[in-house]
Structure 1
Amino acid sequence: MYLTEQEIMTQHIALEKTYAYLSGMQEKIRGFFSTAKHRKFVFLGSGSSYMLAKSGQRMFAACPDTAAAAISGGDYLINSVYYGETIKDGIIITLSRSGQTSEIVRAVKYIKEHYGNPVISISMKDNNDIMPYSDFNLTLDWCYDKSVCQTRTVTNLYLSLLMLAAIYSGDDDLEVSGRAAAEQNQAFREAYRPALKSIAEKNWDNAVILADGALNGIAEEGALAFTEISMLPGRQFNLLDYRHGPIVLSDEKTLTIAVLNPGAERLQSAMVEDLKSHNGILITVSAETENQYGADAHICVDGTGRFEAWGIPLIGMIQMLAYEKSLLLGRNPDAPAGLDAFITL
C-alpha cells in the first residue's frame, strides 16, 4: 500500500483529533483574537497552503465587520512594499505542513521585523522555522503527511480554518458542521470509494473542479491533487464563471466535478446542462440524495451541514479519485517526479 493511500484512508482519525484539539483551545484562541487592533486577517501560504489560504480568506471575509486577504509567500517576498497597507494592523495566519518553506519563513520574519503584527501559525511539525516569529502556534503533528503530495494535511488545515472562523465569529452552527464532517469522514469515503474507482476507470485525461465561496480554495487544491497524484492536468474555476472562456477546452476526455450550492437551482441546472453538452464525464456534488441531473456519478453531502463544511468530503473524494487514477496509469503517487515535500530557496 502506498503512503498516499494510508494517509487518505486514515485521515478521519486525524480530523477527529484536530476537532478535539481546537475545541479545547477555544478560550485561548478567542483571547488571542481580542488582541488585534482591527478585525483584519492576512493568510499566508505557499502551494497547497496558499490555496487553503484562499478558503480561509473567504471564511473570515464573510464574518461581520471583518476584512481578510490571502497572499502567497513568494508573492509577498517579491512585493513586500506593495503589500504594506494590506499587512498593516492585521492578524497574520500562516499555513504550512512543515513550517520550513522558505517563502513563508522569510515573509513572516520580514513582517515581524517591519510591522510587528501578531502571528498565528498552523503547521504539522513542532519546533519548526516559523515558530520563532509566531505568537500563537497550533501544531497538528498527527496530520503530517510523509508522502510528497499533501492529502491528510490539507484536509486538516481546512478544518482548522473552519474552526478558527467559527470561534472568531461565535458561529456555533459552523462548528457543529465541522464536527459532523470530521465524524462522518470515514463512512463517507468507504461509501463512495467504489463509485469513484469506476469513474477512474473511464477514459479521461484532465480534470476540472467547479466550486464557489469558501470551497474555492480547497477545490483548487483538489485540482492540484489530480496534477500531483495522477500527474494529469487539473484546473479549478467558479461554477458559472467556467462559461467565460475555459469551457471551450471541455471535451469527451474531460472529467468535471461540479459542486452545487443550495439555492439558485435554475442557474446551476442550466450550467449542468451546458457541461453535459460537451460530452465529458460529470460528477455532481450536492445535498440532494438523488442524481437529479443525470451525471455519471453523484456525491451526496447531506448531513455535513453548512456549505463551508462540504470542503472536507469534497477534498476527500477528489484525493481518492486522483489516487485510483494514478494506479490505473501505473504511476507512483508517493513520489511524483520533480516535486519535493517543501521548497527551500
Structure 2
Amino acid sequence: MYLTENEIMSQHLALKKTWEYITGRRGDLTNFFSRYPQRRFVFLGCGSSYMLAKSARCMFGACAGTTANAVAGGDYLVHPEYYKEMMQESILITLSRSGQTSEIVRSAAHIKERYGIPVLSISMKDQNDIMPYSDVDLTMDWCYDQSVCQTRTVTNLYLALAMLLGFYRQEDQLLADLARVVDENEEYTRRYRPVLKETAAKNWDHAVVLADGPLHGLGEEGALAFTEIAMVPGQCFHLLDYRHGPMVLNGEHTLTVVLVQAGEEKLQKDLIQDLQRHGGTVVTVAASEGTELKDNLPGVDVNVEIGGDISWIARGIPFIFVCQILAFEKAMVLGKNPDEPKGLDAFITLIYS
C-alpha cells in the first residue's frame, strides 16, 4: 500500500485523536482568546497550509467585530514592511505540517520580535522550530504525513481550525456537526471510494474544483492534490464565478468537482447543467438533507452525499476526501508514484548567504 493511500484511508483514526486533543485543550484556547481580545487575526502558511489559511480567513472574518487575513510565509519574507499595519495588534496563527518550513519559521520569528504579538502555532511535529516564538502550541504528531503530498495533515489542520472557530464563537452546533462528520468519516470514505475509483478511470486529464465561502481555500487544496498526487493540472474557482472566463477551457477531458450548498438551487443547477453541456465528467458533493438539487441532476456522473443537514464549515471534511481519493486513484490509473512526486519536497528549507 502506498503511504498516500494509507494516510487518506486511515485519517478517520487521526480525526478522532485530533477531536479529543483539541477538545482537551478547549480551556487553554478559550483563555488565550480571553487574554488577547483584539479580535484581529492573521493566518500564516505555505502551500497547502496557506490554502487552509485562506479558509480560516473566511471563517473568522465572518464573525461579528472580527477581522482576519491570510498571508503566505514567502510573501511576508519578501515584503515585511507592506504588512506592518496588518500585523500590529493582531493575533498570529501559524499553520505547518513540520514546523520547519523556512518561510513560516523566519516570518514568525520576525513578527514576534518586531511586534510582540501573541502567536498560536498548529503543527504536526513536536519540538519544532516555530515553538520558540509561540505563546500556545497545538502539536498533533499522529497527523504527520510521511508522503510528500499532504492529505491526512490537511484534513486534520482543517478540523483544528474549525474547532478553534467553534471555541472562539462559542458555537456548540458547529462543534456538534464536526463531531458527527468525524464519527461518520470511516463509513463515508469506504462507501464512496469504489465509485470514485471508477470515476478516476474516466477519460479526463485535468481537474477543476468549485467551492465557495470558507471551503474555497480548502477547495484550492483539493485542486493542488490533483496536481501533486496525480500530476495532472488542478484549479479551483468559486461556483458562479467560474463562468467569468475559466469555463472556456472546460471540455470533454475535464473533471469538475462541485460542492453544492443549500439555497439558490436554481443558480447552482443551471451552472451544473452548463458543465454537463461541455461534455466532461461532473462530480457533485451535496448534503443528503437540506437540498433537493442532488435528486434533480440527471447525467451527473457521481453525486457524493454528505449525511445530514450539517453546517457549511463541517462539510469541508468529507468534501476534501473526494478530491484526495480521486487524485490518488488517478495516479494509479496513470502509473504514477503518489508518494514521491518528482521535484517536490515535504518542506522547504531556504539557504541564506
TM-score for the superposition, normalised by structure 1? 0.98
Greater Cα offset, 115-124 or 309-318: 309-318
| Pairs within 5 Å for 1:91-240 | 91-240=91-240
> Match for residue 328 of structure 1?
333
Q: What is the Cα deviation at residue 56 of structure 1?
A: 0.7
RMSD: 0.9
Q: Is the 8 A contact 1:43 1:57 kept in 2?
A: yes
1:318 equivalent in alignment to 2:323: yes
**How many angstroms apart in 2 are the aligned matches of 1:27 and 1:152?**
26
**Which letter does structure 2 place at the counterpart of 1:311?**
G
Greater Cα offset, 274-283 or 202-211: 274-283
Q: What is the Cα deviation at residue 273 of structure 1?
A: 1.3
Q: What is the Cα deviation at residue 287 of structure 1?
A: 1.1
**How many angstroms apart in 2 are the aligned matches of 1:255 and 1:4?**
21
**How many angstroms apart in 1 are the aligned matches of 2:108 and 2:199?**
42
> Match for residue 286 of structure 1?
286
Give the SS at the match of 1:104: helix
**How many angstroms apart in 2 are the aligned matches of 1:70 and 1:276?**
34
1:253 equivalent in alignment to 2:265: no
**Which letter does structure 2 place at the counterpart of 1:237?**
F
Unaligned runs of 5+ residues in structure 2 are none
Aligned length: 345
What are the superposed Cα offsets for residues 111-140 of structure 1, whole Å, 9 maximum, x if unpaired? 011100100000000000000001100000
Q: What is the Cα deviation at residue 88 of structure 1?
A: 1.1
**Which letter does structure 2 place at the counterpart of 1:293?**
L
Q: Which runs of 4+ in 1 moved over 4 A?
A: none
Q: Percent of aligned positions with the same letter in both sequences?
A: 57
**Which letter does structure 1 place at the counterpart of 2:148?**
V
Unaligned runs of 5+ residues in structure 1 are none
What are the superposed Cα offsets for residues 67-91 of structure 1, whole Å, 9 maximum, x if unpaired? 1000000011111111111111111
Give the SS at the match of 2:35: coil
**How many angstroms apart in 1 are the aligned matches of 2:247 and 2:109?**
42
Q: What is the Cα deviation at residue 302 of structure 1?
A: 2.5
Q: 1:308 aligns with which of 302, 306, 313?
A: 313
> Match for residue 84 of structure 1?
84
**How many angstroms apart in 2 are the aligned matches of 1:209 and 1:111?**
34
**Which letter does structure 2 place at the counterpart of 1:282?**
V
1:269 equivalent in alignment to 2:269: yes
1:241 equivalent in alignment to 2:244: no
